[in-house]
Structures are given as structure tokens and as C-alpha cells.
Amino acid sequence: MSENLSELLGRRGLRENLFERMGQAAAAEGSPNTEALARLADEFLVGKANAFGTATFYDFMKPENKGKQVYLCNGTACTCAGTQPAVRAALESHFEPDSIGHMTCLGRCHENAAFHYKGRNYSGADIDAISELLEGDTISRETYHVGCSHQPVLTRPFAGVEAFYAPWVEALGRAPEEVLERIKASGLRGRGGAGFPIGLKLEFCRKETSEVKFIICNADEGDPGAFSDRYLLEQRPHAVLFGMLISGYVTGARHGILYIRAEYPEAVQKVREAIDSLLEAGLAGPDIRQSGFGFEFKIIQAQGSYICGEETALINSIEGQRPEVRVRPPYPAQRGLFNKPTVVNNVETLAALHPVLSEGGAAWEGLGTGKSAGTKLMCLDGFFNRPGVYEVVMGTPLKTVIEDLGGGFRSPVKALQIGGPLGGVVPVEMIGELTVDFESFAQAGFLLGHASVVCIPADFPMITYIEHLFDFAAYESCGKCFPCRLGTKRGHELALKASAGGYTIDKDLFDDLLTTLEKGSLCAHGGGIPLPVRNILRYFKEELTPYFN
């Protein structure tokens, strides 16, 4: 049925799509009304059940969102920092409690105390100026460090449109196959978590026969603790657009979509400005520099759903379907958006194509170690003395990142969760054993993933952290497969009962639950959440003994 819907929803292309129309209908009140949804269902010929099922999935379209005026961040970094109760109290002095909603991570993990008001994000000391903010002063005082362990590559200053896009103009004079081989030679692997080689993904799409193909930038950076994609979108947007143009050229795709999360409104503005400058310079559009190749960009603003970071759920979302994970195969490169060949890559992966094309694949491969070539952006949260975004060469000792770049911890920390909520939990005692690369983390039983770092303070109970992880996973599950939909909820219930006291969790039952999630879930959302939980059970056994039997 979903394949038929994909065809149906694709008949009007990208310019008029159901998902955007739903968002527009929700803008006034926070949720589209019944009549508006019924009209959209009739207009797009999808049936009322499909339209209602889609709209009620997203945080910022579901009926519960009506009347919300301000949103409080409830992401892991802000939770561990303990800043949010005071922020909520300050907001409640100006807003009715029912008008305060939540957003799961605003990408302000470097200074916490994050909240969202009237299309803008705030954090740190901004809450102290809430009265002035409500009177119209909408400028956030956000600051964070940007640094690197070497000569900057992804973080180097922008050289101007013509100079920066010179490798793009040069690529247009070469055969797409030649450009693709250069990318493959770099060994560049996806930076969103899975680490799949981008050259192979582009090649798979190139080999597909279709008049229409798509390149999608997955800018739905929902991992609490991660804000490197936000940094690139807001401060280096041309690097991302360059990567999309190159990807389109080598695959034959002429349409590029930037799916940017609703929690990053400032990023939307910066990317739109960058696209306008490209069009003005004749570096994007119908016939780029008389090359015969054209590429059209489109920004789609998400509506609040972590699962849309999974590529097939994201594709469903753009189409206007409920963002549930698709069964694979077929893979998106074979049949993706509107059933057409589609490449989905995250922001940092696309941005890395500029140094690969400007300096050569061998230069990129020369950075890093083994199968982990190039550099990686890492995010350090507010527990560090120098929180921010740091570009490190793959293979850099984790201890160097923590102590030399981040300046160490400003207060006692007992563990780091690296790579988002599905990433491993690393005890501080093991920091010296790891290097920043895929292999080192995997061999030690962790996951590099997005490489975001969330600190767990020494006084934060690990049973509460397990509860938080399961609560997040249950809330954000797409609900398509039983192991994830039911298993994450059962895990949360067990941890909640144990943390409340008077109940101990059966170890064998809990292990069965984790194994079922690992082996039975359709995607990494349910399949990945057992990793950090197992890490905690292993390394914090003594602390957790009272909660298990």
C-alpha cells in the first residue's frame, strides 16, 4: 500500500507536497484542524485516515500541540546538566503551564538551559533576560568554541562563492564516472552513524535507470548532544550544498532536498540565503554554467520526530506518509522518494565532499587511520571547560579530545555517552583506551556514531539514566515493529518501577528484552538502544545491584 501511496503522492512532485501543506495548516494553532486535514486528504487523494495518521505523529502537528507558546528542551544533555527545572520555573512566571511544550534537543548542548520561543532558540544565560526577550529582543547570546586537532578542513574559513565552488565548475568539465572514482578513492564513510562508504552509495544510485533521481540531505540531527550539523548548516552551508551538487552530478540526480529539523529554525534561514547566492552566481539551477546539467534545491522543514533521522522514515515523511521505517531491500538508492532512486546522506558526510574534490581523494584518505579516513566533527557538551565543536583527525586519542581540546571537565563526571542515545556509554576510566575512529569504538563494545559527547555527572543515578534512555526510545519509536514499539515501553516501565523503589528487575527477563530489541527491530532505533543499556549494566554493576535480582 505504501508503494502505491508513494506513486500517488509523487504525481505533483516536490513543489506541491502533502507534508508541507500539513505544516502550513498547523502553523496558526500548532495543529491542523479537522476540516483542513479533510480537505488535504481529498486534494491529494490519500484518504482521511492517511492524512490524520500522518499529522498526529509529529510533535508540532499533533492535537496536543495546540496552544503551545514556548518549548522547553528535554534532551539528554540538558537533563544531565540539571538546568531545566529552573528554566521551566522562569517560563511559568510568564506562560500558563499548559502552553509550555517540549522539544527533544535544540542543539544547545554546549550551554544547556535551552528553550524555544517564536521560531528562535535560546540557551545559557538567555533565560535570565526572559522579560526583555518577550518584549521583542530576539537575539540569543549563544557562544561556543570551534577548534581542531590539526589544520582545519571542514572548519576552515569560507573563501567566497566563486573560489569555494571552483572545484564544482572543474568537475562539470569531467565525466561523472571520473568524479565518482575520485570520491571512492577517498574512503569517505558516512558521518551520520552507520559509516557506510559514500562512494558505493552514489555508485548504486548511478547504476539505476530512471529519468528522475533525488539527493536528500538528512539534516534531521536529533541526537541529544549533537550540534555539529547545526554548526555546518548555520556557519558552513555552502559545504553542504557543494556536496549535494557533486552527488547529483555523479548519480544523474537533478533534485536536491534539504530536510532540516523544525528545532533548527536559524539553519533554515542560513541555508536559504546560501542557495539564493548560488542561484545568483549561476552555480545551481536549470543549466549550470552552460554545462547541460541542472540541479534544483528545495528546503523542507520537519515537524518534530527523531525517527525521521532514519533514511526511509525521512523519505516517507517528505512524501506526506506516516514516517515509519521501510523494510529493506529495496534500498533507497534503488527505490526511494516517490519510488525513484534516491541517495540520503547526512550533513557532515556531504560537507566532506568539498575537501575530497578540492584536494583529492588521496589527501583525505591520508588523514586518519585504516578504514577510518579523514576528519570527524565532535561535539562537547556543557560539562567541559571549553564546550563546542571540534574537528579531529580520525585516530586521535579520545583523551586528547577530552583534556587538550575540551579542557577537561568542570565538575565530576563518571561516564560519557558518545554517538547519541543509541551510542555506547563509556566509563571515564576507559577514556585513555579509545581513539576516535570506527574500529576502536566497535572493538571496545561502543559506537562512534555521530561522535557527540554527553557527560553523565557523578551524582546522576544510572538507573535513572536507563529510564531516560528507554523513555526517549519509546516516545520516538515509529511504532511499525512490535519489538521496538512494545520493548522500549516495557524497558521504561521496568526502570521506572525500580527507580521508584520497592521493585527489583529480573535480570534474565531484562536480558531477554534487550536481545529481542537487538534482533527483532526493523531499524537501529530499537536495535541500537540495548547497546548503551548493556554498557551501563556492565560497567556500573555495583551501583545497579539494588535494582536487579
Residues 6 or more apart in contact with residue 491 via CB below 8 angstroms: 466, 470, 473, 474, 510, 513, 514, 517, 529, 533
Q: What is the pLDDT of residues 408-423, one digit of tens each?
A: 999 999 999 999 999 9
Q: What is the pLDDT of residue 319?
A: 95
Indicate the average pLDDT of the chain. 95
User: How far lies 324's CA from each of 224, 225, 292, 522, in Å?
Assistant: 21, 24, 37, 10
Buried/exposed code over 476-509 (b: 16+ C-beta within 10 A; e: otherwise): bbbebbebbebbbbbbbebbbebbeeeeebeeee
Average pLDDT in the 457-477 region? 97
**Edge-to-edge strands, sheet with 296-301:** 296-301, 255-260, 214-219, 342-346
H or E stretch including 217? strand 214-219
Find residue 34's DSSP bridge partners: none
User: How far lies 321's CA from each of 293, 440, 506, in Å?
Assistant: 31, 39, 39
121, 108 contact by CB (below 8 A): yes
User: How far lies 418's CA from each of 38, 168, 218, 368, 474, in Å?
Assistant: 44, 34, 20, 19, 20
For the chain, domain boundaries = 2-65, 70-143, 147-364, 370-455, 462-547
Band (549; pLDDT cuts 50, 70, 90): very high
Is the pLDDT at 2 greater than 80? The verdict is: no
Residue found under cell 577548534: 147
Q: What is the pLDDT of residues 57-96, one digit of tens each?
A: 999 999 999 999 999 999 999 999 999 999 999 999 999 9
* Fold observed for domain 147-364: Rossmann fold (3.40.50)
Q: What is the pLDDT of residues 483-526, one digit of tens each?
A: 999 999 999 999 999 999 999 999 999 999 999 999 999 999 99
H or E stretch including 51? helix 48-55
Q: What are phi and psi of 321, to 5 degrees?
A: -90, 170
Bond before 329 cis per omega within 30 degrees: yes
Q: What is the CATH number of domain 70-143?
A: 3.40.30.10
Q: What is the CA radius of gyration of the chain?
A: 23
pTM of the model: 0.95
Q: Please report, rounded to a whole number, the percentage of residues in the chain having pLDDT higher than 90.
A: 89
Helix, strand, or coil (residue 158) = coil
> Using CA atoms, how far apart are residues 424 and 323, in angstroms rounded to an integer?
26
Query: From the CB of residue 457, how many other CB atoms can be counted at a distance below 10 Å?
Result: 15
Q: For residue 352, with 0-12 CB atoms within 10 Å meaning exposed, 13-18 middle and 19 or more buried, which class applies?
A: buried
Band (7; pLDDT cuts 50, 70, 90): confident
Residue found under cell 562512494: 199
Terminal-residue alpha carbon distance, the chain: 46
| Range of lowest pLDDT (112-116, 221-225, 300-304) | 221-225
> Using CA atoms, how far apart are residues 444 and 435, in angstroms rounded to an integer?
10
CATH number 1.20.1440.230 is the correct assignment for the domain at 462-547: yes
Greater pLDDT, 237 or 192: 237
428, 414 contact by CB (below 8 A): yes
Residues 6 or more apart in contact with residue 85 via CB below 8 angstroms: none
H or E stretch including 486? helix 482-500
Helix, strand, or coil (residue 300) = strand
Q: Please report, rounded to a whole number, the percentage of residues in the chain having pLDDT higher than 70.
A: 99
* Fold observed for domain 370-455: Ubiquitin-like (UB roll) (3.10.20)
Helix, strand, or coil (residue 301) = strand
